[in-house]
Amino acid sequence: MSNTWSRSRAAMLATSALCAVAGFASMAQAQDASPETSVEEIVVVGSQIKGAKVTAALPVTLVGAEQIAAAAAGSGDELFRTIPQAGNVQFNSSFLPGSSNSARGDVNSISLRNLGTGNTLVLLNGRRTVVHPTTQAESLVPVFTYNTNAIPVAGLQRVEVLRDGAAAIYGSDAVAGVINTVLREDYNGGQIEAQYGFAEGTSMKEGRLTGLYGRDFKEGRGNFTIFASTERRAALLDSDQEYTAFADKRPLFAGTEFETATSLDGRSTSSPWGQFTARNTTTAIRSNGVAVTGATGIFKIVPTANGCGLTLSPGLCITSGALNTTTDRNLRQESAAVKTYTVPEVERYNFFGTAHYDLTDDVTFFSELGYYRAKTHGLQGPSAVATSGSITIPTTGYYNPFGAAVLPNGQVNPNRLPGLNISAAGVPVTINTYGLVDVGATPVDVTNDQYRVLGGLRGQRWGWNWESAALYSAAQVKDESVAVSATKLQAALSLSTPEAYNPFNGGNLGSLSYGDGTPSNSATLAGLTVPILRKNKTTMALWDFKVNRPDLMHLWADNDIGIALGVEVRKETYRDDRDSRIDGTIVYTDAVTGTVTGSDIPGTSTSPDVYGKRTVMSAFAELAIPLVSPEMNIPLVNKLELQLAGRAEDYDDVGSVAKPKIAGAWDIIPGIRLRGSYSEGFRAPNLEQINVTQVSRSNTRTDYIFCEADLRAGRITSFNACARGKATRAVRAGNPDLKPETSTSLSYGFVFEPQFIPSQFGRATLTVDVWKIKQQGIIGVFGEGNGVILDYFLRTQGSSNPKVHRAAPTPEEIAAFAGTGLTAVGEVLYVDDQYVNQLPQVAQGIDIGFQYRLNTERFGDFSLSVDAARIDKLYQQPTTQIQELLAARAAGKINANTVITGASDLVGQNGTPEWRWSGTLTWKKGNFSADWFASYVGAFYNTGLTYAATGEFYDVPSTTFHNVAVNYAFEDGRLAGTRLRVGARNVFDKDPPLTPGGYTGSVYNPYARYWYFNIRKTF
């Protein structure tokens, strides 16, 4: 154990690792590896110079096999959530969007420092890996991620996290840092492992089987190592836990001031209780003198208790006017009425192989072959129809209450209301809002494939180490779902027989928010849906050539200048092939009105196919300069080392960029080190931001000009009570003139390893690093929400925002503005927007690490590691237009409760806590070992709720989760080489903190106490 600890300590000092996992990695090697596979030196990310000591200047976190086991991480997502610097997970499997416009399935993102997805470079065995093919909007801008779930956790040797800007070494995307995942290699022997686990009180169960085999051949000149795993996990149902079971979260806040807050009611406004418009009318339609529509033809279907204009059947009425956000709230659809999943079921497969062979004494061939596949199945909420869909029921429709007096087959229309004041020809009806609940849940099946092939040569010549490799990696996603076709729905609505789809029969009279008590004909329902397919693919082809030597030039004493030089060429492609019913190939044409919509799927915006490619050529240089060594005997300068680096990249689509880096480490005396670095970085615009032509997306936004009218008219007492939120469509355009985002990074800190403590009292290390990152030209949009607020401000000044396109005001809308001093407006049709390079963002914080290790004969061996990260600032500087809005709000020209996005310090807000930390305690004696892992997420606030007394936002408390496990290793008999492990994740069964949405999926996993049983056999 002492030799192992020496290797561990040397590796830790060489890398100044933040957390103690270098020691864990060494202990894991001692426990798990055969003597042939012991590793004498750990070389980590941060330098291209083999054998250089300059990485002492860089803050690197090493996560070894022991810590991975203690965290009980079964997936890349679960592993990276335990790293305090890893940030929020915006792409996650519990995020199940209602359409394929966002990433779904087995995908999780990485965002070091919370700087945003895409600002972290992920390497596999030291080289780039391909990005996940499906983008997702962050701050309304599409971004790519590296899929952490594609990382074979059970096959990891370690994870290296360089918490420093590294564009000068590795190129684009390394703004917040670099994560290098290192897989096992040079293994001799075999290993098989099986694990079964389940989350208490839920439907989630999973099993995993892994195998590892390696062998030397040709008398040790070569080795091949193969890893394979397969795992299956059952779905986690929404109904499994109370904070996900219901869309209406108000009961969860019982006993607080928020128990009646309507903002906690997440029930869908699209329910079987529909709202409609009778077309071509200028006065109210009456049935036997009773008005059943408004002057513009608007009417709704409601239960009797909600106010009855005319009874259609016992308990069911047709009534004039629109659905009311207050009096008709009980008609919203509760998601619990339909079986849906919080996390989908998944099958995941991983294979990875490495091989190398010494062709000569100086030349070695090496290769990698990797494959990942994951298939998920999820159930999401039913389809819905909104105003923008413009689905119209003709006069010949069997259930149209204002239909023709006589149907085409000569039958008297049994569903036309009696005594109507319209012609016998009838009038068509357009659906405004309606939930197709009787169609049932929407199944979503996503298949992810990712593969990687690498071959290369490395060797030594004339004192130089050289290496060259060719790499090809590709990832593809097939997203399959079932959706209602607007064309098929209109055809079913238009039937003149009882088999027609009937949207006028309301929902469930026995329980208004739960399902549809009067579903349409089953054969008709089956004919409404069509399969929807989205296929995405990204590829990366890379060739590089690198040379380095640690002793280019001798300075003095034991100091040699090291150098590394290299060139790289890579080609990246991206293809987004949308379903023909979404990309505009098969459009929906309203057979009655002639209105053409680019998407045939209600609720899914038109999205064109996208294709982009780029070629990048780059070159880098690095110098390692040890200025002072211990042999020089200089007082208070035991060591002084510098790193100088620079990289230039040329893109064939966005131009060229070059960035430098300087880093240094000063050992005052042995065990006390000061270190710091300055670097510049960049992130190139991604291929969707540049190449997409035009894309429509809808988000719920508050139309504040209506709130202002309601406030002035006395219908509400404050903007907090405004209920004018509607789905607002943004039309965004790509921009081929985008330039790379740029950044500057500064870090400085110290490493303290007391040498005066006798070794029998253990070894301790403390590290502290302060960092600051400033980004320029971040790609963003003004945002449709801000656009509507700007329109509100300008309309109070007598003008308007030309990028906000509105419909003509209806009589009801004109009446809403009467007497307010404001000009009446109609609802927002869409808002124009475009991706542009915007103003800076600044982030800064501090990392703290503590490591302690004690070996005793009597009580065994102990290791303690604590890793903490604090973010002090994450400030987005406002653009000129946003500054104008903020100034108007500060001056009282617009209401103080307007929510202006894109200009604030995000620390402590909506899932960005100030503090995160994790800690691991391990113990081993003889055949027994145990570990305890704790993960802390600090408090933050949620802007979805406001305390009445103070006006401050809702507090989300800090939370700590704990994992425990015990192990027993057999050494003799038939079970020799067998290890048993029993553990629990979230051992105290703590729920994630309650938020307006139930929980925050970007911060927490929605898992109950999770038990697992593991057996491993090594041979």
For every residue of 676-696, DSSP letters joined together read EEEEEEEEPPPHHHHH--EEE
Question: Per this entry, what is the length of the chain?
Answer: 1019
- Spell out the residues 6+ positions from residue 799 whose beta carbon is closer than 8 angstroms to its own: none
Judge whether residue 22 has pLDDT over 50. no
Quick: pLDDT tens for 992-1019.
999 999 999 999 999 899 999 999 999 9
Mean pLDDT over 937-945 rounds to 93
Which residue from 142, 167, 131, 172 is spatially nearest to 779, judged by alpha carbons? 142
Contact between 317 and 304 under an 8 Å Cβ cutoff? The reply is: yes
Question: Helical H runs in 45-107?
Answer: 65-70, 76-80
The predicted model gives 541-552 an average pLDDT of 95
Res 729: pLDDT: 82
Indicate the pTM of the whole model.
0.89
Q: E strands of 970-1005, at which residues?
A: 978-985
What is the distance between the alpha carbons of residues 153 and 81, in angstroms, rounded to a whole number? 13
For 656-660, 690-694, 727-731, which range has the lowest pLDDT when averaged over its residues?
A: 727-731
DSSP letter for each residue of 832-889: EEE-EE---EEEEEEEEEEEEEEEETTTEEEEEEEEEEEEEEEEEPPPHHHHHHHHHH
Distance CA 990, CA 74 (A): 19
**Two tokens, residue 822:** 């404001």
Q: Quick check: 640 pLDDT over 70?
A: yes
Terminal alpha carbon distance of the chain: 22
pLDDT of residue 96: 64
Q: Which amino acid is at 837?
A: N
Q: Residue 250 above 90 pLDDT?
A: yes
Q: Which of 499, 505, 503, 502 is nearest to 523 (CA)?
A: 499
- Averaging pLDDT over each range in 31-45, 92-106, 827-841, which range is the top one? 827-841
pLDDT per position as a tens digit, 315-374: 999 999 988 878 899 999 999 999 999 999 999 999 999 999 999 999 999 999 999 999
pLDDT at 435: 94
pLDDT in tens, 877-922: 888 888 889 999 999 999 988 888 877 788 999 989 999 999 999 9
Element (H or E) spanning 544, and its range?
strand 529-556
Q: Which two tokens stand for residue 416?
A: 């036309």
Mean pLDDT of the region 157-175:
91
Residue 878 has a pLDDT of 86
* Residue among 538, 374, 383, 381 nearest 445 (CA): 374
Reported as a pLDDT band with limits 50, 70 and 90, residue 529 is very high
Average pLDDT over residues 862-875: 94
Confidence band of 725 (pLDDT split at 50, 70, 90): confident
Lowest mean pLDDT among 127-136, 724-733, 847-856: 724-733
* Alpha-carbon distances, residue 289 vs 280, 309, 312, 322 (angstroms): 19, 11, 15, 20
| Mean local confidence (pLDDT), 379-386 | 88
**Would the pLDDT of 530 be above 90?**
yes
Q: Please tell me the distance from the alpha carbon of residue 631 to that of residue 322, in angstroms, as a whole number.
A: 86
Task: List the single range of 222-231, 388-397, 635-644, 783-792 with lowest mean pLDDT.
Answer: 388-397
CA distances from 628 to 561, 615, 622, 624, 750 (A): 11, 42, 19, 12, 18
Cα separation, 175 vs 85, whole angstroms: 14
The β-bridge relationship of strands 836-837 and 779-780 is: antiparallel
pLDDT on residue 756: 86
Is the pLDDT reported for residue 758 higher than 70? Answer: yes
> Which residues are 543's β-sheet partners?
470, 569
**Axis-axis angle for helices 2-15, 21-32 (nearest 10):** 150
Question: Does pLDDT of 585 surpass 90?
Answer: yes
In the 8-state DSSP scheme, what is residue 15?
A: H
Q: How far apart are CA 302 and CA 312, in angstroms?
A: 10
pLDDT score, position 899: 85
**pLDDT at residue 388, as a whole number:** 60
Separation in Å, CA 12 to CA 482, 498, 629: 53, 76, 19
Q: Characterise 16 by phi-psi region: left (phi > 0), alpha (psi -120 to 50), beta (else).
A: left
- Condensed to tens digits (0 to 9), the pLDDT of residues 415-457 reads 999 999 999 999 999 999 999 999 999 999 999 999 999 999 9
Is the pLDDT score of 53 beyond 80? no
Taking every pair of Cα atoms in the chain, the longest distance, rounded to a whole number of angstroms, is: 109
- Going through 605-733 in order, the beta strands assigned E by DSSP cover 610-628, 639-651, 655-669, 672-683, 694-702, 725-733
Collapsing DSSP to helix, strand or coil, 426 comes out as: coil
Residue with the two structure tokens 């004909």: 521
* Closest among 704, 839, 895 to 785, alpha carbons compared: 704
Return the DSSP state at 57: G
Q: Indicate if the alpha-carbon torsion angle 256, 261, 264, 266 is positive or negative.
A: positive
User: Given this model, what pLDDT does residue 559 score?
Assistant: 87
**Two structure tokens written together for 704:** 């504040």
Determine how many CB atoms are found less than 10 A away from the CB of residue 127. 20
Which single residue is written with the structure tokens 């088999």?
499
State what percent of residues in the chain have pLDDT above 70.
94
Q: Under a CB-based contact definition with an 8 Å cutoff, are residues 107 and 448 in contact?
A: yes
**So what's the pLDDT on residue 19?**
34
Distance CA(246)–CA(265), nearest Å, equals 9
Q: How confident is residue 54, by pLDDT bands cut at 50, 70 and 90?
A: very low
Task: Tell me which amino acid residue 94 is.
Answer: S
Q: Tokens at residue 427, please?
A: 């009038």
Helical H segments across 483-528, by residue range: 486-494, 522-526
* Residue 633 pLDDT level (bands cut at 50, 70, 90): very high
Would you state the structure tokens that stand for residue 625, as one six-digit string? 């300069």
Res. 400 pLDDT band, cuts 50 70 90: very high
The span from the CA of 885 to the CA of 898, in Å, is 10
Per-residue tokens: 152:
């074979």
Query: Minimum mean pLDDT among 30-39, 130-139, 256-265, 455-464: which range?
Result: 30-39
- Over residues 73-81, the mean pLDDT reads 89
Q: How far apart are CA 220 and CA 952, in angstroms?
A: 67
- Residue 754: helix, strand or coil by DSSP? coil
Determine the average pLDDT of the residues in 207-228.
Answer: 95
CA 16, CA 77: separation in Å to the nearest integer?
Answer: 26
Whether the per-residue pLDDT at 209 is higher than 90: the answer is yes
- Would you say 227 and 211 are in contact if contact means Cβ atoms under 8 Å apart? yes
- Measured distance CA(301)–CA(722) in Å, rounded: 24
Q: What SS3 string covers 204-268?
A: CEEEEEEEEEEEEECCCCEEEEEEEEEEEECCEEHHHCHHHHCCECHHHHCCCCCCCCHHHECCE
**Pairing state of beta strands 177-183 and 120-124?**
parallel
Task: Express each pLDDT in 494-506 by its tens digit.
Answer: 999 999 999 999 9
Q: In sequence order, which residues have a C-beta less than 8 Å from that of residue 606 and are 6 or more positions away?
A: 582, 583, 584, 597, 598, 599, 695, 696
Higher pLDDT, 1007 or 771: 771
pLDDT at residue 36 above 50? Answer: no
Categorize the per-residue pLDDT at 12 as very low, low, confident or very high, splitting at 50, 70 and 90.
very low
Flag whether pLDDT at 596 surpasses 70: yes
Q: Distance from CA of residue 635 to its chain's centroid? A: 51
Report which DSSP code applies to 4. Answer: H
Question: What is the band of 628 on the pLDDT scale with cuts at 50, 70, 90?
Answer: very high
Helix (H, G, I), strand (E, B) or coil at 21: helix
DSSP-assigned states of every residue in 132-192: PS--EEETTEEE----GGGS-GGGEEEEEEE-S--HHHH-TTTTSEEEEEEE--S--EEEE
Q: Give the distance, in angstroms, between the CA of residue 844 and the centroid of all CA atoms in the same chain.
A: 22
* Lowest-confidence segment of 236-245, 596-605, 899-908 by average pLDDT: 899-908
CA-based Rg of the chain, rounded to a whole angstrom? 32
Determine the distance from the C-alpha atom of residue 938 to the mean position of all C-alpha atoms in its chain, rounded to a whole number.
20
φ and ψ at 837, to 5 degrees?
A: -75, 125
Q: What pLDDT does residue 685 have?
A: 95
Q: What is the CA 594 to chain-centroid distance, rounded? A: 39
Query: What confidence score (pLDDT) does residue 49 get?
Result: 81
Give mean pLDDT, residues 977-1002. Answer: 95
In Å, how far from its chain's centre is CA 436? 29
Mean pLDDT for the chain overall: 90
